[in-house]
Structure 1
């Protein structure tokens, strides 16, 4: 996709001087990306997703820079130690739609001799809050679950993060397991990537040392069910303003990407995007090539439907509930959706057997040891 208008707008991101200018640019980028929405084949959807998430990453990185500059203008100085700004959720997986909220964290190096740890902590907590406010002004709503750098629980030094990870692995109740799954999607969008990689190393060492964690993660992963009934029929929303729509986000996309994520975590795979995880699962022999191909096709289709979901601007913030009216789905699209949901079901069943110690690969709808 080589669109001159889009290229020019992307080039402007690095020169935006404040949050209001960033918002204006984000609005113009949003409109241009809407005009370029792909119509069909998986390759164009994958390319569009890559460009769209490159746009989000660039806007977020600029928000970080603007927030650093605001700290300096306020007389707070430069960052006292190296740090990384982390994205989780769809941002961590590089799968944000046109409308996306903030799922973020801030990781900074432990202060060395001569630095007051409390002053360093206060500096980064103020920065984390500024970044969130800047992104809000740019149209990104905060995460409903408060997984965000303005929350002190998600803004910490390296030693604080590793202590949290240790605690979550050692005491894997529901909320701690949810946090661990969130962390598995984390990636550095700005700052010191080596620092983020060290934290990821600690995560996977813990995962390897706590084999029982997989069963707890499975319980969380299987929480959301694909939107098909007992006889393979689609299950639309029955009540409320979304009656007659199908929940693509929680009825297709989330059950699928969550299953792929857990297969990746149990296999020690560190990639965060769903496509990268599928390909690594194939390359490491955890998925047959034909099944990986089916998974890629399902993922591309779910991405396309998520892009069809209504984008809303509520109070200046972009929002998307992930639901698509059944009337927007042609008969072939409904048929394809049922087909790809079958892939999701087989993947989830395979994952359940894997966690139970009977690892098998899905293959043409059947099993193979």
Structure 2
């Protein structure tokens, strides 16, 4: 059986490289279990680990197929879905910014009564367990469709988004920001669009919320000291390593999310948000796009052999040459400058509304 499965996996890899075929159909024909998907994912990651676009396309394929099998399993147990729904991704997956390894961030929106939540929570739980089996770690913050907070009807989601923005606490705005970096992977894309439009309407009516959102991400973990040295972790198991996510990625991601909210952009990816910015309105902000692309490539280069999700965001200084360290410091400094410019812009414009 193992030999047969291995030949199946190899067959997919060969077909995947052909120029014209329905790749989804080929995958459906061969991958029929979570174990098959896990094996195929592990093999394919090696071939796309240095290309950001191909890597994230692979993640999408893997998650779609996993969700499809989960849907089939739940349907056999509970019948067809009782209402139209959307399964959507958030976090780095929602932004199409996953590295070689990633954790789970996903939710479900359904267009039906609250009584339907039982079915979709069952589906969300199956998807969560399946993705963990395939190779995506569970989210520590439980931002998964197995959690009732992230699996609701359109009406429930509308009320929750309104409550998050009305409360405007640190935690509620964190939840809202997480939700906003989202895209539908399976199902009705209009459901998510409708919810984002509702959020834009609330923000336009209460511009003070933009400033609260700025405050929510105002703290940036410093990666460079006053003497220009990189600041690695000093204690614990990560001693000697730079936290790439907090020190370097967050300033770029948070800045473009703030501008996307202000300009009512639906696109979730940081790169798409950069491209959608008006060059006349944001002439200096757009200059940081190349820095972000460099950062994505930097992470792929140094973290393509990460053994687990936590390692994806850690770079030990011992692994960097002097040139590498200078490059990393440059990317950090550009991120700090970008956030500083974005903050000043948001405060200036939103304070006058």
Q: What is the TM-score when the length of structure 1 is the normalising length?
A: 0.84
8 A Cα contact 1:168 1:180, kept in partner: yes
CA distance in 2, matches of 1:6, 1:53: 19
Partner residue, 1:77: 79
Aligned counterpart in structure 1 of residue 168 of structure 2, from 168, 172, 175: 172
Give the aligned CA root-mean-square deviation in angstroms. Answer: 2.2
Partner residue, 1:273: 269
Indicate whether 1:56 and 2:59 are aligned: yes
Q: Which runs of 4+ in 1 moved over 6 A?
A: none
CA distance in 1, matches of 2:68, 2:291: 37
Gaps of at least 5 residues in structure 2 are 1-12
Aligned counterpart in structure 2 of residue 309 of structure 1, from 303, 306, 311: 303
Q: Quick one: structure 1 residues 244 and 319, their matched pair in 2 at CA, closer, same or farther if it must change by over 3 Å?
A: closer
CA distance in 2, matches of 1:166, 1:140: 31
Indicate whether 1:335 and 2:326 are aligned: yes
Q: Quick one: structure 1 residues 31 and 319, their matched pair in 2 at CA, closer, same or farther if it must change by over 3 Å?
A: farther
Residue 109 (structure 1) shift = 0.7
Indicate whether 1:24 and 2:39 are aligned: yes
8 A Cα contact 1:86 1:105, kept in partner: yes
Partner residue, 1:14: 28
Q: What is the TM-score when the length of structure 2 is the normalising length?
A: 0.87
8 A Cα contact 1:81 1:109, kept in partner: yes
Task: State the number of aligned residues.
Answer: 332
CA distance in 2, matches of 1:320, 1:207: 37
8 A Cα contact 1:310 1:324, kept in partner: no
3-state SS of the aligned residue for 1:234?
A: coil
8 A Cα contact 1:103 1:148, kept in partner: yes
3-state SS of the aligned residue for 2:277?
A: helix
**Which is richer in helix?**
2
CA distance in 1, matches of 2:183, 2:254: 17
Partner residue, 1:354: 345
Residue 5 (structure 1) shift = 4.5
Question: Counterparts in 2 of 1:206-217, with a 5 A limit?
Answer: 206-217=202-213
Residue 313 (structure 1) shift = 4.5
